[in-house]
Structure 1
Amino acid sequence: MDDILLHQRRRRRSGNGRTDYLLCVQAGDMPKPLPVGVIEAKAETEDPLKGMEQGKRYAECVRFAVQYVFATNGHWYGEFDLGTQMPDGPFPFPDFPSHDDLTARYATDTGINLSAPEAAMLFMADSAAFNKPRYYQDAAIRAAFEKVLRCRKDGEPARVLLSLATGAGKTVIAANLLWRLHEAGQLAKPALFLCDRDELREQAWEKLSKAFPKGSVRIVKTERGQNAAKNAKVHIATYQTLGLDDEDQSYASFLTEHYPENAFSVIVIDECHRSAWGRWSEVLKRNPDAIHIGLTATPRQLRESKHQTADDVAITANNLGYFGDPVYEYTLIQAQEDGYLAACEIVKLKPSIDWKTFTREEVLAAKPIDARTGKYILPEDLKTQYVAKNFDDDILLPERINAMCADLFKRLCEHGGPEQKVIIFCTRDLHADRVAMQMQRLYAAWCKENGQTPKDHYAFKCTAEGGSDLIEPMRGSGERCFIACTVDLLATGVDIERLNAVVFFRYLESSILFYQMVGRGTRIHEETQKYKFWLYDYTGVTDLFGTDFITAPAKPRIKKPGGDDGGDGGDDGGGGGDDPLPLPEIKTGHDGTVVMQGRYILQERLVDGVRREVAVPLDEYRQEMVARVLREAATLHDFRGLWVETQKRRQLIDHLLGEHYSPDTVRELMGLAECDHFDLFAHYGYREKALKRPEREAAYLSAQVPWFASVDDKTAIVLKGIGHQFGLGGTDALESEYLWDMPDIRRAGGLAALRPLGKPADVLREAKVRLFGV
Structure 2
Amino acid sequence: MLNKKTLTERDICTKFITPALAAAGWDIQKQVREEWPFTDGRIIVRGSKYTRGQRKRADYVLFYKSTMIAVIEAKDNNHAIGHGMQQAKDYAEILDIPFVYSTNGDGFIEFDRTLTEGIVEKEITLNDFPTPEQLWQRYAQFKGLSPQQQEIIKQENHTDETDQAPRYYQQVAINRTIEAVARGDRRMLLVMATGTGKTYTAFQIIWRLWKTKTVKRVLFLADRNILVDQTKTGDFRPFGSDIMTKIEKRQVDKSYQIYFALYQGLTGTEEEKNIFRQFSPDFFDMVVVDECHRGSAKEESAWREVLTYFDSAIHLGMTATPKETKDTSNIHYFGEPIYTYSLKQGIDDGFLAPYKVVRVSLNVDEGYRPEKGKRDKYGHEVEDREYNIRDFDRNLVIDQRTQKVAKKITEYLRQTDRMAKTIVFCVDTEHAERMRQALVNENSDMLQKHPKYVVRITGDDEVGKKELYNFSSVIEKEPVIATTSKLLTTGVDTKMVKLIVLESGIQSMTEFKQIIGRGTRLREDDGKVYFTILDFRQVTKLFADPNFDGDPVMIYEAGEDESPVPPTDKGGEGSEKPDNKPIPGEDEDDVPGGNGSDKPKKYYINDVTVKVINERVQYYGADGKLITESLKDYSRSKILREYTSLDDFLVKWKASDRKEAIVNELAEKGVLFEELQQEIGKEMDAFDLVAHIAFDRPPLTRKERAEQVKKRNYFEKYGTGAREVLQTLLEKYADEGISSLENNSVLTVKPLNQFGTPIEIVKRFGKKADFEKAINELEQELYKTA
TM-score by length of 2: 0.71
What corresponds to 2:436 in structure 1? 436
Which of 253, 256, 259 is residue 274 of structure 2 equivalent to?
253
Answering whether residue 386 of structure 2 is matched by residue 368 of structure 1, we say no
Q: Residue 497 of structure 2: SS of its match in structure 1?
A: coil
Displacement of 1:265: 2.1
Q: Residue 175 of structure 2: SS of its match in structure 1?
A: helix
What corresponds to 2:423 in structure 1? 423
Q: Residue 442 of structure 2: SS of its match in structure 1?
A: helix
CA distance in 1, matches of 2:688, 2:280: 67
Q: Residue 424 of structure 1: SS of its match in structure 2?
A: strand
Mapping of residues 308-327 of structure 1, within 5 Å: 317-327=328-338
What corresponds to 1:685 in structure 2? 690
TM-superposition CA deviations, 1:530-566 (whole Å, max 9, x none): 1111111111211222443679499999x9xxxxxx9
CA distance in 2, matches of 1:190, 1:521: 35
Relative to structure 2, which stretch is displaced further, 65-74 or 261-270? Answer: 65-74
Displacement of 1:765: 11
Which of 102, 109, 129 is residue 135 of structure 2 equivalent to?
102
Mapping of residues 417-566 of structure 1, within 5 Å: 417=418, 419-444=419-444, 446=445, 453-466=448-461, 467-476=464-473, 479-545=477-543, 546-548=545-547, 552=563
Q: Residue 346 of structure 1: SS of its match in structure 2?
A: strand
- The question of whether the paired residues in 1 share the 8 Å contact of 2:673 and 2:686 is answered with no
What corresponds to 2:390 in structure 1? 389
- The question of whether the paired residues in 2 share the 8 Å contact of 1:74 and 1:93 is answered with no
TM-superposition CA deviations, 1:362-403 (whole Å, max 9, x none): 36443235xxxx2414x7xx4754322122112112222222
CA distance in 1, matches of 2:577, 2:488: 9
Answering whether residue 210 of structure 2 is matched by residue 173 of structure 1, we say no
CA distance in 1, matches of 2:645, 2:138: 39
Q: Residue 517 of structure 2: SS of its match in structure 1?
A: helix
What corresponds to 1:331 in structure 2? 342
Displacement of 1:431: 1.3
Match for 2:239: what amino acid? F
- The question of whether the paired residues in 1 share the 8 Å contact of 2:82 and 2:108 is answered with yes
Which of 302, 312, 333 is residue 289 of structure 1 equivalent to?
312
- The question of whether the paired residues in 2 share the 8 Å contact of 1:405 and 1:439 is answered with yes
What corresponds to 2:16 in structure 1? none
Displacement of 1:336: 1.9
TM-superposition CA deviations, 1:164-199 (whole Å, max 9, x none): 111111111122222222233323x21121100001
Displacement of 1:347: 1.3
Q: Relative to 1, partners in 2 of residues 1:178 and 1:630: Cα closer, same or farther, differing over 3 Å?
A: same
CA distance in 2, matches of 1:251, 1:40: 58
- The question of whether the paired residues in 2 share the 8 Å contact of 1:524 and 1:530 is answered with yes
Q: Relative to 1, partners in 2 of residues 1:403 and 1:656: Cα closer, same or farther, differing over 3 Å?
A: closer
CA distance in 1, matches of 2:662, 2:283: 52
Relative to structure 2, which stretch is displaced further, 128-137 or 81-90? Answer: 81-90
Q: Relative to 1, partners in 2 of residues 1:617 and 1:325: Cα closer, same or farther, differing over 3 Å?
A: farther
- The question of whether the paired residues in 2 share the 8 Å contact of 1:487 and 1:567 is answered with no
- The question of whether the paired residues in 2 share the 8 Å contact of 1:640 and 1:772 is answered with no
Segments of 5+ residues of structure 2 without an aligned counterpart are 1-19, 42-50, 557-562, 589-593, 679-683, 692-698, 704-714, 723-738, 748-757, 760-766
CA distance in 1, matches of 2:606, 2:341: 47
Displacement of 1:423: 0.3
Q: Relative to 1, partners in 2 of residues 1:461 and 1:107: Cα closer, same or farther, differing over 3 Å?
A: same
Q: Relative to 1, partners in 2 of residues 1:215 and 1:618: Cα closer, same or farther, differing over 3 Å?
A: farther
Q: Relative to 1, partners in 2 of residues 1:287 and 1:478: Cα closer, same or farther, differing over 3 Å?
A: closer
TM-superposition CA deviations, 1:131-187 (whole Å, max 9, x none): 42222222211121222233x2xxxx4222111111111111122222222233323
Mapping of residues 352-363 of structure 1, within 5 Å: 352-356=363-367, 358=369, 362=370
Q: Relative to 1, partners in 2 of residues 1:598 and 1:73: Cα closer, same or farther, differing over 3 Å?
A: farther
Answering whether residue 234 of structure 2 is matched by residue 227 of structure 1, we say no
CA distance in 1, matches of 2:360, 2:117: 48
CA distance in 2, matches of 1:180, 1:704: 71
Q: Relative to 1, partners in 2 of residues 1:149 and 1:345: Cα closer, same or farther, differing over 3 Å?
A: same
CA distance in 2, matches of 1:508, 1:424: 13
Count how many residue pairs are aligned between Structure 1 and Structure 2.
Answer: 652
Q: Relative to 1, partners in 2 of residues 1:212 and 1:416: Cα closer, same or farther, differing over 3 Å?
A: same
Answering whether residue 447 of structure 2 is matched by residue 410 of structure 1, we say no
CA distance in 2, matches of 1:729, 1:269: 53
Match for 1:594: what amino acid? V
- The question of whether the paired residues in 2 share the 8 Å contact of 1:261 and 1:286 is answered with yes
TM-superposition CA deviations, 1:484-539 (whole Å, max 9, x none): 11111101121222212001011111011011111111112345311111111111
Answering whether residue 187 of structure 2 is matched by residue 159 of structure 1, we say yes
Match for 2:318: what amino acid? L
Displacement of 1:270: 0.6
- The question of whether the paired residues in 1 share the 8 Å contact of 2:37 and 2:55 is answered with no
Mapping of residues 47-196 of structure 1, within 5 Å: 60-74=91-105, 91-92=122-123, 94=125, 98-99=130-131, 101-113=134-146, 115-116=147-148, 118-128=150-160, 129-150=162-183, 152=184, 157-187=185-215, 189-196=216-223
Match for 1:395: what amino acid? L
Q: Residue 188 of structure 2: SS of its match in structure 1?
A: strand
Match for 1:366: what amino acid? K
CA distance in 2, matches of 1:265, 1:23: 37
Match for 2:273: what amino acid? A
TM-superposition CA deviations, 1:292-321 (whole Å, max 9, x none): 2111101121225xxxxxxxxxxxx31112
Match for 1:333: what amino acid? K
Q: Residue 396 of structure 1: SS of its match in structure 2?
A: strand
What corresponds to 2:735 in structure 1? none
CA distance in 2, matches of 1:599, 1:46: 46
Displacement of 1:724: 12
CA distance in 2, matches of 1:497, 1:356: 37
Displacement of 1:9: 3.6
Q: Residue 289 of structure 1: SS of its match in structure 2?
A: coil
Q: Relative to 1, partners in 2 of residues 1:436 and 1:645: Cα closer, same or farther, differing over 3 Å?
A: closer
CA distance in 2, matches of 1:767, 1:183: 64
Q: Relative to 1, partners in 2 of residues 1:198 and 1:668: Cα closer, same or farther, differing over 3 Å?
A: farther
Displacement of 1:670: 7.9
- The question of whether the paired residues in 1 share the 8 Å contact of 2:225 and 2:262 is answered with yes
The CA RMSD measured in Å over matched residues stands at: 4.7
Q: Relative to 1, partners in 2 of residues 1:597 and 1:704: Cα closer, same or farther, differing over 3 Å?
A: farther
CA distance in 2, matches of 1:681, 1:77: 43
What corresponds to 1:738 in structure 2? none
Q: Residue 443 of structure 2: SS of its match in structure 1?
A: helix
TM-score by length of 1: 0.72
CA distance in 1, matches of 2:314, 2:284: 9
- The question of whether the paired residues in 2 share the 8 Å contact of 1:424 and 1:486 is answered with yes
Displacement of 1:122: 4.1
CA distance in 2, matches of 1:502, 1:86: 52
Q: Relative to 1, partners in 2 of residues 1:191 and 1:481: Cα closer, same or farther, differing over 3 Å?
A: same
- The question of whether the paired residues in 1 share the 8 Å contact of 2:393 and 2:602 is answered with no
Q: Rg: which structure is higher?
A: 2
CA distance in 1, matches of 2:52, 2:566: 49
Match for 2:600: what amino acid? P
Q: Residue 302 of structure 1: SS of its match in structure 2?
A: coil
TM-superposition CA deviations, 1:206-236 (whole Å, max 9, x none): 22442223422222222xx6425x3333111
Displacement of 1:638: 3.7
TM-superposition CA deviations, 1:685-710 (whole Å, max 9, x none): 3579899xxxxxxxxxx99999x99x
What corresponds to 1:299 in structure 2? 322
CA distance in 2, matches of 1:176, 1:63: 20
CA distance in 1, matches of 2:70, 2:371: 66
Match for 1:200: what amino acid? L
Displacement of 1:341: 1.7
What corresponds to 2:351 in structure 1? 340
